[in-house]
Amino acid sequence: MAAEANIGVVGMAVMGSNLARNLASREGNTVAIFNRSYEKTQTVLDAHPEAKFIPAKDYAEFAASLSKPRTAIIMVQAGKGTDAVIDALTEVFEPGDIIVDGGNALFGDTIRREKAVRETGINFVGAGISGGEEGALLGPSIMPGGSDESWVTLGPILKSIAAVAEGEPCVTHVGHDGAGHFVKMIHNGIEYADMQLIAEAYDLIRRGTGKTPTEISDIFTEWNKGELESYLIEITAEVLKQVDASTGAPLVDVILDQAGSKGTGVWTVQTALDLGIPVSGIAEAVFARSLSSKPAQRAAAAELPGPSSPAVGDVDAFIEDVRLALYASKVIAYSQGFDAIVAGAEQYNWNIQKGEIAKIWRGGCIIRARFLNRITEAYAENPGLVALVTAPFFVDVMASTQDAWRRVVSGAAQSGIPTPAFSSSLAYYDGLRADRLPAALVQGQRDFFGAHTYKRVDKDGTFHTLWSGDRTEIEATDTH
């Protein structure tokens, strides 16, 4: 077989076949396709003759159909499936060839796989791909890691299929080995926070004002014309407008209120805990889904006492407050997400350009939003920004939103409406800006029961108070 394809895709399920069709639709690409069981390949061939795919029945035939350096994107079931395909491809590929994992791998697995594949001389690239089925077909946001060498070949191919935002393709070489999958994980974590914040805004308006889902849909449509303009606000308006065909009720009222998850939010929080980065907005979003999915506990607690919900006075003013609180909380969620990226980059030695990450999230992916331009600008102005929320633009946002944010959070607490993401974001904000934190007392407690020592504000050194003795302070060595 002549080697005529410049790119191949392994895995012809929904994501793989859509990505292959996207590749085939771009000028200059000829696409080889392979699936473990041939039926899926045949189905894709039959349905899309226009793509002029080059099908392969086995891995050897697939490798033979690819021009060098051979480049293949794996889109199979994450985990064992990915490992099986990598093993098979390394058998038939040669040094200099490129294997791309486009699945949702945990970045630690990508680091491991990259190291193992590199031994064979083959390049391994873990690439986060966001945008779901439609993104894969029409243009996703792509977050590739891997070597600089692989980016030379892969860059133009990925640029050809990525979403375009303001004239620029939504793909950049994020960093080496697992950097791409790491950033994709943080993207998903931010997505969790964003969705939870929007859900809390909906709940506040619904329970606070009694407005119907259709009316709230109109509010979100209006919000989508301003600073909050984003894909998630747009689809929220669509979901709230939907009427259930069988009951005539708003669809949101007949959907079981137990949120599922595929785990990437949990990965983000686990990773952030390991890195010591407070991603409280994301964590609360994950916990809110966990709480929703505990029907027995919720039923048992349904009669616990709560306040009588006072009606909101000025409805329009309240809705505007909720909008501002949502905006402020969203800034915090992104600021925390970027903190996690900075910490990950430091830990794993990745040279990640934060502004570029915000740029490639402007199109194709689930968190695409107008607001991301402001993040790019903030990092362009100051690449060493220590916390996104301290950039001048966001300081202004905080100045214009914080009063409303406080009213909403305190009102929600008084009314018994749960706003874990709004509230924890505000607490984080106040903690971050506090002159003194009660962490000093925690250090005192730690020294009391565990002789863990403390530092002083007025002199260098490490100190311990002899709590069980005469309570004098001694200078301690740093061994605790």
Q: Which is nearer to ligand ATR, 75 or 158 (CB)?
A: 75
Which residue's entry shows tokens 């004002």? 209
Tokens of 392: 């001048």
Prior bond of 140 cis (ω within 30°): no
- In DSSP notation, 367-393 reads T-BTTHHHHHHHHHH-TT-S-GGGSHH
Q: Which is nearer to ligand ATR, 74 or 409 (CB)?
A: 74
Least gap, CB of 306 to ligand ATR (angstroms): 41
Which residues pair with residue 147 across a beta bridge?
Answer: none
Q: Which is nearer to ligand ATR, 83 or 218 (CB)?
A: 83
Strands 462-465 and 123-130 come out as unpaired
Tokens of 125: 């690239």
**Which residues are known to be catalytic?**
184, 191
The CA-atom distances, in angstroms, between 141 and each of 124, 126, 187, 326, 414 are: 19, 14, 11, 25, 41
Contact positions vs ligand ATR (CB under 6 A): 11-15, 35-37, 40, 76-77, 80-81, 84-85
Tokens of 389: 């929320």
Least gap, CB of 72 to ligand ATR (angstroms): 12
Least gap, CB of 10 to ligand ATR (angstroms): 7
Least gap, CB of 191 to ligand ATR (angstroms): 18
Cα distance between residue 327 and residue 146, in whole Å = 35
Cα distance between residue 412 and residue 470, in whole Å = 48
Query: Phi/psi zone of residue 175: left (φ > 0), alpha (ψ -120 to 50 degrees), beta?
Result: left
Least gap, CB of 213 to ligand ATR (angstroms): 30
Q: Which is nearer to ligand ATR, 116 or 315 (CB)?
A: 116
Q: Which is nearer to ligand ATR, 122 or 358 (CB)?
A: 122
